[in-house]
Structure 1
Amino acid sequence: MNERLLVPIDDSDPARAALEEATELFDPKEIVLLHVLELDEVTYGAAGAAAEGIREEREEEARELFDDARRTLGDDVSVETVLETGDPSSVIVNVAEAKAVDHIVMGSHGRSGLSGILVGSVAENVIGNSPVSVTISRP
C-alpha cells in the first residue's frame, strides 16, 4: 500500500504488536513513530530539579524505544520520530493531522471500564477523533 503510517509506541506488548502489524499489513514506505510523555509522568509528585530529572529519564527511555523500533523495522522503511508531552489520545490525533499520515496503527490494552472492554480508552478516543483510519492491534 505504501502509506505513511503513524504508530504510537511505548514499552508494551500491544505497542510492539502494532509495530509488527503496521509492516505486515500495510507495507509502508514511511512510519512516524510517536511516544507521548503523559503530563502526570513528568510533573506530579516532583518539583523543580526533581521534575526535570524525571523528564530527562523519560526522554532517554523514549529514545531507546525509538532505537529498538528502528532495529525492528530495518532499512526498508523511512522512520521519523516524534516525542510529545500531553494527553495521549489528543497528541496522537494532533500528530496524525500535523504529519499528514494516511493511517494510524496502534496497540490497545482494552482495560478501561465498560466502554473500554473491547478497546482501551486512549484507542477509543483516537478512533472517535482521528482524521484518518485507525487499526487497533492486540498482542
Structure 2
Amino acid sequence: MEEHFLIPVDDSEPAIDALDHAVKNYPDASITALHVVDPSEFSSAASIEGAATYADMIESYEGKAEELLEEMSERAAERGVSIETDYVVGKVARSIVDYVDEHDIDHVVIGSHGRSGATRVLLGSVAESVTRRAQVPVTVIR
C-alpha cells in the first residue's frame, strides 16, 4: 500500500527543504503539500488597514495560498514528482493535526521553523506541537 505524506508549507526555506526532502526520499509515495491560512494573521491586518473587510482578507490570503501551492507543485514536478495540494483556514498546528486525522496521512515532514521575523518564535512551536500531537511519525527538517 502506498504511503501518504503530508508536507505543511509556507514561504520559508525550512518548508521548501521539507518538500524537497519528501520528494527526494519518497518519490513513489502520495504527497500532499498543505498550507494553513491562519485567521489571526488577516484579522490583525484587517484591523490595521481598516478599509479591508474580513471577507476581503480571507479572499486575499486564500489567493496567496493557491499561488504558494502552485509554486510547490511546480517545484516537485521539476523533480519528476506529482503532488497534491490543499489549504485550510485555522490555527496552524491544530489544523495540521486535524488534517492528518481526516485524510489518512501516514507521515508528516515539516520544516523546523516557519516564516522569519516576529512570528518565527511562534511558528517554531508549530513543529513541536505537531510532533507531540500527531498520531503518525513526524520528520522535522532543519
**TM category, shorter:** 0.7 to 0.9
Q: Does 1:83 align with 2:83?
A: no
**Deviation (angstroms), 1:73:** 1.1
TM-score, normalised on structure 1? 0.83
Q: Where does residue 98 of structure 1 map in the other structure? A: 102
Letter in 1 for 2:138: V
Identical counterparts, % of pairs: 37
TM-score, normalised on structure 2? 0.82
Q: Does 1:55 align with 2:55?
A: no
**Deviation (angstroms), 1:2:** 4.8
**Deviation (angstroms), 1:78:** 4.3
Q: Deviations over 1:75-130 (max 9, x none)?
A: 854432221111111111110111101100011228539xx9xxx21111001000
SS in 1 for 2:10: coil
8 Å Cα contact 1:2/1:26 also seen in 2: no
Q: Where does residue 39 of structure 1 map in the other structure? A: 39
RMSD: 2.5
Decide which moves more: 87-96 or 41-50.
Answer: 41-50
Letter in 2 for 1:68: E
Which residues of 2 match residues 1-139 of structure 1 at below 5 A?
2-46=2-46, 50-74=53-77, 76-109=80-113, 112=121, 120-138=124-142
Q: Deviations over 1:15-74 (max 9, x none)?
A: 100000011222243111111111211223526952222211111111111111111111
Hey, which of these two has a bigger chunk of helix by percent? 2
SS in 2 for 1:33: strand
SS in 2 for 1:43: helix
Q: Distance in 2 between matches of 1:109 and 1:78?
A: 25
Q: Distance in 1 between matches of 2:86 and 2:41?
A: 17
